[in-house]
Structure 1
Amino acid sequence: MRTTRIKISIFVNYFLFGILLNSVGTVILQVQRYFKVLPARASLLEACKDLSIAVAAFLVTSLITRVGYKRSMLAALALIALTCCTIPLIHTFPSVGVLFIVTGICFALVRVSVYGTIGLITSSEKEHISVMNFIESFFCVGIFLGYFLFSHFIDDRDAGSERWFQVYFVLGALAAGAFVYLWLAPLDESEARAGAAGGGRAWAEPGGAEWNAMLKLLALPTVVSFVVCAFLYVLIEQSTMSWLPTFNNKVLNLPSTISVDITSLLAAAYAAGRLLVGLVIRRLNWFLVLVVCLLATAALVLVALPLVERVSGLAVHSWAQVPPAAFLLPLIGFLLAPVFPVLNSIILSSLPKHKQGYMGGLIGIFAALGGTLGSRITGLIFQYHNGLTAFYFSLLPITLLLAGLFVFRQVRSRPARKAAPFVQFEF
């Protein structure tokens, strides 16, 4: 099967949703300025995004396996294009929440479909890990460029300016272009159909069989240990990425545009880390790489935050006045970058191709729950304590994730006879 065009298409899709999903940090800062909402209320935008991903990932998995990966992605792109073009005409705080709800639903459709598609266009675990890292690196490129895109529409001098809403017209046009390209890209899904539960009947029957198949995966110890790791990783990632613009603005006293632009370095670091791992992972031991990355992340937090504390009282008005400490925290992205795509590839490539879509649904659910909890906790600590305390909090889930990796490796290495399900699900 020729895969170049479909690979480019899913790269573009992930690029688009990288911008949309991770604009939440910038938007959290902007709604505090524009609508005068408190940090705890602003953090609800993360919940709008992540809880909609979690709910949709569960509900639409059966729909995706019956309708098909390509059609599901097309539906998501059409819906997000329409929503982006509508938001600038309304521009209220509830409408921003609706935008992130729709974004979460559409991303759930895209993520489950992409994870299933990767299984169709790769033939080995190493190739799967490599392609996954490249796709996730494009996601991070989208995040990186998204910060500059949003920053271009932000007015530092006028917190009440509506100009920043105009960015959604640009994103709507990008979604429309992605829709057209995907429409023209060929994808052979016959292998997924043939392997579906019931000899392919699941593509034509109600969704109970698919939900049953997805929940049965949770009976496997390997899957349970994996979803715990995925939950903790996204908790760390989103608590940092969503609140770094606010941290830069309120702790380091940087102007809003500079706060957003510096956060783009975090996304660039994620992209570079995933691209590098995508190139060299075939020669490396995945477990050693991830352990080293997490230990280095904890060390960087312990080094960077005391430096930030020393300069947090200084006023900054231009790039020339930005303290060097402001450039340290974004380096966390380079160290954390490989963790999520590598873990995803390992668990997905260990399953039959027709079950990888179901696993994608579980990944979406637990990643979304982790992102919601991480951002919510960070927002509450930010409001009732301070930004430094909120970022020190990341050391706790980093420690738990290290322990989770050891458990995941141990469970995964057990003989098949010892990896019996915990419990059976029936509908």
Structure 2
Amino acid sequence: MFAIMLNSVGTVILQSINSFGVSKPDASTLEGFKDLSIAFVSFFIASFIPRMGYKIALLIGLLLAAGACLLTPVLGDFIAIKVLFACIGISFALVKVSVYSLVGQLTHDTRSHSSLLNTIEGIFMLGVLSGYWIFSAYIDPDAPTSLEWLNVYYPLAAGLFITACIVLFSPIQKTPVVSQPNGLTQEFVEMLKLAYKPLVLVFVLSVFLYVLIEQGIGTWLPTFNSEVLHLPVDVSVQITSIFAAMIAIGRLMAGQILKFVNWYLFLNICIAMMAVLMLLSLPLADDIDATAVTGIFNAPIAAYLLPIAGLMMAPIYPIINSVMLSSLEKAKHAQMTGLIVVFSALGGTTGSIITGLVFDTFGGKNAFYLSLLPMALLAFTLFFFRKSTNKLSSSTIQNEQ
């Protein structure tokens, strides 16, 4: 449910521009309402969730999102969409922390824990893929300014209510929590201390740049397909599902490739191929006649090439997170996860807003060409990231000796 709603932001931006007449910079703020809500709740409230109980946290998250979904088509304006995404962000943070914590109640060893977590992430990706098709089913390509597409939120609300009923009758145990005075303040201070380390600074900058690239492209791809490639609105949304599919395939393939290739070499190849693909595909977007396009199977080649960039960018985020976490002692993993969430949110929001501003001022092609700059910066930060992790590994080995 949350995969469908969270990853609908690109589709909703396109429809908000068409239906409400908002500018691209205004529409891009939806990413901020979503991401900053997730970051705020994850950072400041996550430590209270075990105290209230995972079942209550899940029910609050599901019912808040369901209520927002029901109100959105009734109100039918852009402010309602902003409130919707803020509620979705808050709800997702509550649900994600609870679900990840509950995995421990359902598994008994590392292998079963990893297996269940991968299953959950796989189902999440199925939600992402299906979301584009669910939303496109409610879009009338012959009436792009119509508000009928808002009716998609009624079945989504129903799905959330059904999920809440399942949670209500599930035997979820409340985890005993040891009372710790000033625990939240101490956790915040520890996270700030961690952020001052040079290795961590380079890492969070890498995370920021990666998410800036991914959200900048992924969020604005439906609008690019519609306004630059001149595809029908429903096809513009459907073909964006290829981007999500490529990310899923790329992450599955990376797990096998990394058994034989060094992570730093692999990521540099990914960044270089991503840049080459952008340079090859964007010139093909000129002078396209899409009047005969009726579905994703007869779209122009440029519409397929851009989403394939997801295949190359897919491994970057999980690999740098894995390298960073494995370089730290386990006691600091919670603080580092908090930093990852915060800087991912900031990167996503920044990427969407910058791309929206450039898209509005200089056109869609130039907005996507601009992504080459953070790609180059990411390659630069990864060089120092590798250098810092190598130094940390060497000092750890010497201390052990």
Same fold? TM cut 0.5: yes
Query: Match for 1:165: what amino acid?
Result: L
Match of 2:294 among 318, 330, 342: 318
1:186-245 Cα distance to aligned partner (Å, 9 max, x none): 57967xx6xxxxxx433x756212222332321333332221111111100111111000
Secondary structure of 2:143's aligned partner = coil
**Partners in 2 of 1:307 and 1:107 — Cα distance?**
38
Partner of 1:26: 11
Picking from 146, 150, 153, the partner of 1:168 is 153
Correspondence 1:249 to 2:249: no
Does the 8 Å contact 1:136/1:271 carry over to 2?
Answer: no
User: Does the C-alpha gap of structure 1 residues 281 and 358 become closer, same or farther in structure 2, counting only changes over 3 Å?
Assistant: same
- 1:345 and 1:129 mapped to 2: Cα distance? 14
What residue in structure 2 maps to residue 329 of structure 1?
A: 306
**Are 2:262 and 1:285 aligned?**
yes
Asked if the contact 1:136/1:341 (under 8 Å) is kept, the reply is no
Matched residue, 1:231? 208
Is the 1:128–1:349 contact (alpha carbons within 8 Å) kept by the matching residues of 2?
no
Checking the alignment, whether the CA contact within 8 Å between 2:35 and 2:348 is kept in structure 1 is: yes
SS in 2 for 1:413: helix
Alpha-carbon contact 1:84-1:169 (below 8 Å) kept: yes
**Pairing partner for 1:390 from 355, 367, 384:** 367
- The 3 A distance-change label for structure 1 pair 316 and 232 is farther
1:99 to partner: Cα distance: 0.5
Query: Within 5 Å, which residues of 2 pair with 1:19-418?
Result: 19-64=4-49, 66-67=51-52, 72-113=57-98, 135-182=120-167, 184=170, 200-202=178-180, 207-278=184-255, 281=258, 284-309=261-286, 311-312=287-288, 314-319=290-295, 321-351=298-328, 355-415=332-392
Secondary structure at the counterpart of residue 253 of structure 1: coil
Q: Against the structure 1 CA distance between its residues 42 and 269, is the aligned structure 2 distance closer, same or farther, given a 3 Å change threshold?
A: same
What is the deviation of 1:396? 0.8
* Distance in 2 (alpha carbons) for counterparts of 1:274 and 1:118: 21
Q: Whole-Å Cα distance in 2 between the matches of residues 143 and 115 of structure 1?
A: 19
Q: Is contact 2:7-2:128 (8 Å) kept? A: yes
Task: State the partner residue of 2:399.
Answer: none
**CA deviation string 1:395-415 (max 9, x = no partner):** 111111112222222212223
Q: One-letter code of the match for 2:141? A: D
Contact 2:69 2:156 in 1 (8 A): yes
C-alpha spacing 1:279/1:335, structure 2 compared with 1 (3 Å): same
RMSD value over aligned CA atoms? 3.1
| SS of alignment partner, residue 375 of structure 2 | helix
Q: Which amino acid aligns with 1:98?
A: V
Q: Would the alpha carbon gap of residues 151 and 53 (structure 1) be closer, same or farther in structure 2, given more than 3 Å must change? A: same
Paired residues of 1:40 and 1:379 also in contact (CA < 8 A): yes
Q: Is the 8 A contact 1:137 1:272 kept in 2?
A: no
By how many angstroms is 1:162 displaced? 2.8
Larger deviation, residues 281-290 vs 88-97: 281-290
CA drift at 1:28: 0.7
Distance 1:348 1:40 in 2: 35
Secondary structure of 2:231's match?
coil
Judge which range, 329-338 or 154-163, deviates more.
154-163
**SS of the counterpart of 1:98?**
helix
1:43-87 deviations in Å (ceiling 9; x for gaps): 121222122223333322332465466654443223212222222
Q: Contact between 1:49 and 1:100, CA under 8 Å: does it hold in 2? A: yes
Amino acid at match of 1:19: I
**What is the CA–CA distance in structure 1 between the aligned matches of 2:333 and 2:355, rounded to whole Å?**
32
In structure 2, distance between residues paired with 1:92 and 1:304: 36
Q: Secondary structure at the match of 1:102?
A: helix
For 1:37, give the aligned amino acid: V
- How far is the alpha carbon of 1:273 from its aligned partner? 1.5
Shifted more, 109-118 versus 362-371: the winner is 109-118
Residues 180 and 232 of structure 1: CA distance in aligned 2, closer, same or farther (over 3 Å): farther
> Do 1:132 and 1:345's aligned partners in 2 also have CA atoms closer than 8 Å?
no
Match of 2:21, as an amino acid?
Answer: K
Superimposed CA distance per residue, residues 155-208 of structure 1 (whole angstroms, 9 cap, x where no aligned partner): 111234332112112222333344455562657967xx6xxxxxx433x75621
- Mapped to 2, the partners of 1:383 and 1:92 lie a distance apart of 21
Report the more deviating stretch, 364-373 or 34-43. 34-43
- Cα offset for 1:116? 5.9
- Between stretches 225-234 and 49-58, larger displacement belongs to 49-58
In the alignment of these two chains, the number of paired residues is 393
What does residue 424 of structure 1 align with? none
